[in-house]
Structure 1
Amino acid sequence: MSGQPASPSLVCETFSESDVEGAHALSLQFGWPHTREDWRFAAATGRGFVVRESGTVIGTALCWPWGERGATLGLVVVAANQQGRGIGRMLMERLLDALGPRMTVLHATQAGQPLYEKLGFRKVGLLHQYQGTGFAAPFVEPPPGERLRPLEAGDTPRLIELATRASGLDRSALLPPLLDMSQGVALVKGDTVVGFALLRPFGRGHAIGPVPVVADDGLDRQRAQALIANRLAANAGAFTRLDTPDEQGLGPWLESVGLARVDTVVKMARNGEPARDPATLQYAIVTQALG
């Protein structure tokens, strides 16, 4: 992969904090909900590249290595009036060169999917985006012998374990800063955390995710609904978003409580697939970029 600028007038450099303002302005052109704070969090937890022309940001792409073997990739955007110059491909090649042989996941729009396929990604699933403000916040009874409680400081290692097992990605670097900005709830059986859900500021309001739950006794759906309903109640009347994998089949229930499906994207992977633990399921991801 060359990863060379598509034109001598273009400058491609490492993405830095100083690029957040330009990247945010670029993403607004496409109606993305990301705030400046969302961009700052993404940049602080990952790395990437920016393309400028005459000092103006016209393209970005970021990636997040999770441990030595896995990564996610996202926030790939090129100004509408600059498309067709090879900028998107150049940015992707830069990222893939930096990531090397890592198994890498991204979520693709229909427009972006052909490029990603040419770069070695293949479809491995679908992800549905649900959101709204006029939802009901029902109480869902946890399974017998289980209860909901606020997260505690000592839960962090277990939360990292569950999130890693459910996603197939090392979440040890992501969970601590994510917990700092979130309101979370745990589902416990005896003294063991068997699931959790986080509610945090994101985009036009708040987002729920991740939501990993233990599934070894077949109670995963009830556990997930109890956790999500609790976080919906904590954000009643306010804009809330949740991105859920298609294979979990949560859509009908989310629609029944008043969240509308507004988008579906394709989950793609390169150099293999995430090594998820089938005994722990992920009912909502963090973000489409972070996985």
Structure 2
Amino acid sequence: MPHDPLIYRHFTHADIPAAHRLSVAVGWPHRLEDWSFVAQAGSGFVAIDGDAVVGTILNWKFGSASASLGMVIVAPDHQGLGIGRQLMLLVLDELGPRTTFLHATREGQPLYEKLGFAAMQNATDQHQGTAFRAPVMPLPPGERLRPIGASDTLRLVELASRASGLDRSMLLPTLLASADGIALDLDGELLGFALFRRFGRGYAIGPVVVMDSPGGVRARALISYWLALNEGTFVRIDVGTEHGLTGWLEGLGLAKVDTVTRMVRKGPAPTPVDPALRQIAIINQALQ
């Protein structure tokens, strides 16, 4: 049973080890380094019982209009006490009028609905696996895959922001510092990219952003590139159900292990400036 009263305060860098232990306790795959990255990119709150962190929540602001929240965890022996709700209220108060997104577990969705979140039309499929063999995907004439360079950053931010409808100007440069990247290039014009980085039990592909039709060859080429280089390595990718890639990924050996609901509170969902520019795979379920 909790001590009386619980203390709620801002998340600090010193809370990362305790937050990591909490996520391990509920079966999440995040490494200490994964916590460090998301904490550096955002802010949040913790619930304290005595000397123990028993609840966490983080949020990330994308400009002045949008945000996401995640890493909502309550210790198993403290669930049902209203801790998650109080953490949510603290973050929503901090975010103010921003349109806010989250990915909801089945257990968390009823609480989020009570706090004004509504399910969006498209969900997110989580795929993962180790035993895959990626085919070589031919590209249209003149197009090629090449490594991302430092001079590409501004264009990558532009593409990522337009594809997601979220301002990625602060987040993406931080992500690029810890990820490998491949770009899709047409005569010097960057049409898309995919990042590959350490995460959880192995590696993650995402975001994948590209000018393409749903389930198109460009998206498949970007994803296949990383799979072909890392056969036998544990890889995870989270893709929107609207892109029609689930069957293809399963055929490559990346099993669908979960489908999570994407939810939004306040305002319309973001839409890409160009409907052909798509965020095929998200960064992760917290950062969208």
AA matched with 2:54: I
- Summarize the alignment of residues 230-249 of structure 1 with structure 2, pairs less than 5 Å apart: 230-249=225-244
2:171 is aligned to 174
Identity %: 54
CA displacement 1:142-185 (0-9 Å, x = unmatched): 22221101111111111111111111111111111111111110
Give the unaligned 5+ runs of structure 1: 1-5
AA matched with 2:23: S
SS at match of 1:62: strand
Question: Could you tell me whether the CA contact under 8 Å between 1:51 and 1:59 is conserved in 2?
Answer: yes
CA distance in structure 1 between the aligned counterparts of 2:266 and 2:207, rounded to whole angstroms: 24
| Larger CA deviation: 272-281 vs 62-71 | 272-281
Question: Could you tell me whether the CA contact under 8 Å between 1:213 and 1:220 is conserved in 2?
Answer: no
1:130 is aligned to 127
Question: Could you tell me whether the CA contact under 8 Å between 2:207 and 2:281 is conserved in 1?
Answer: yes
SS at match of 2:195: strand
Aligned counterpart in structure 2 of residue 196 of structure 1, from 189, 193, 214: 193
Question: Could you tell me whether the CA contact under 8 Å between 2:3 and 2:50 is conserved in 1?
Answer: no
SS at match of 1:275: coil
CA distance in structure 2 between the aligned counterparts of 1:250 and 1:279, rounded to whole angstroms: 16
How many pairs were matched up?
284
- Summarize the alignment of residues 223-262 of structure 1 with structure 2, pairs less than 5 Å apart: 223-262=218-257
CA distance in structure 2 between the aligned counterparts of 1:219 and 1:80, rounded to whole angstroms: 40
Normalised by the size of structure 2, how large is the TM-score? Answer: 0.96
Question: Could you tell me whether the CA contact under 8 Å between 2:20 and 2:31 is conserved in 1?
Answer: yes
Q: Which runs of 4+ in 1 moved over 6 A?
A: none
- In the alignment, does 2:140 pair up with 1:143? yes
AA matched with 1:190: D
- In the alignment, does 2:102 pair up with 1:106? yes
CA distance in structure 2 between the aligned counterparts of 1:22 and 1:148, rounded to whole angstroms: 41
Aligned counterpart in structure 1 of residue 74 of structure 2, from 66, 73, 78: 78
2:204 is aligned to 207
CA drift of 1:84 comes to: 1.1
- In the alignment, does 2:54 pair up with 1:58? yes
2:276 is aligned to 279
CA displacement 1:30-75 (0-9 Å, x = unmatched): 1100000000101000000000101101000000001110101000
Give the unaligned 5+ runs of structure 2: none
CA distance in structure 1 between the aligned counterparts of 2:271 and 2:242, rounded to whole angstroms: 16
